[in-house]
Structure 1
Amino acid sequence: MSSNRAIVLIDDNEVDLYLHEQLIRHTGVFSPVWSFRGPAAALDFLASLPYSEPSATYSIVLLVDIKMPSMDGFSFIDRFEKLPLTLRHRCSIVLLSATLMVSDTIRAEAHPSVAFFIEKPLTVSALLEVAEGLA
């Protein structure tokens, strides 16, 4: 399956990151797939993309874990929102968490920059729901 949507995975948990990357590659819904264990490295990568070139037409899904030690998902969004508007318009943020904290769920679902909130573990059905919801 070909895609005009890339995905950036951001999760400090190496096992989750690996499993999610394999699941995404297996479904073929998003391509290319970029993985980062740290949110700062992901932000640097996003800032380096040729977002203003006409050839940069694919959209990007940012799958971001909420609970990370160096920078949580909400802090990542705050920093992401400082990137150029032309890049931000190509991106959709999906927050992912194993948290059972109702406050995190409510905050994620109410945040204007968050397109989806998904509870871990990531499943094929959740991934397809995101792909269809962003079509």
Structure 2
Amino acid sequence: MLKFNAAAALLAAGLLAATTAPSFAADAKGDWERPNGASKIRISSCGGALCGKLIWLRDPRNDTQNPDTSKRSRPLLGVQIVQSMKPTGTDGQWKGKVYNAEDGKTYTGFIKLTSANKLKLEGCVMGGLICKGETWSRVK
């Protein structure tokens, strides 16, 4: 007859959770929607990193805030806004650059898959002291 060992069961559950949690980062690839529903971004591999480009805009427009004046007439659709995200080694977090078309600036950025269908994106200034972000939802 087998005896139930609560400590062993908790240890097994903890090991299972520890081995499955980081796998979220590998699943960050796919299509994501911003909380306001104004755009969709496709995250995919790009040279050993993750990148994301705009694949849908509710109100298509040009990149009018870009600091490079030669790019201000280009459509935002197709622009890479998540750039060169590489694993930080911290709990499924990735670090790279984020282009914000609303102000035309590129920030230090972080992404982290918080669940199978939620991706947190942050853009930071001052070496990461001040960050602002939002949580995107996976498009089904």
Q: What's the TM-score, normalizing by structure 2? A: 0.30
Report which structure shows greater RCO (CA 8 Å, sep ≥6): 1
Q: Which has the higher strand share?
A: 2
Q: Which has the higher helix share?
A: 1
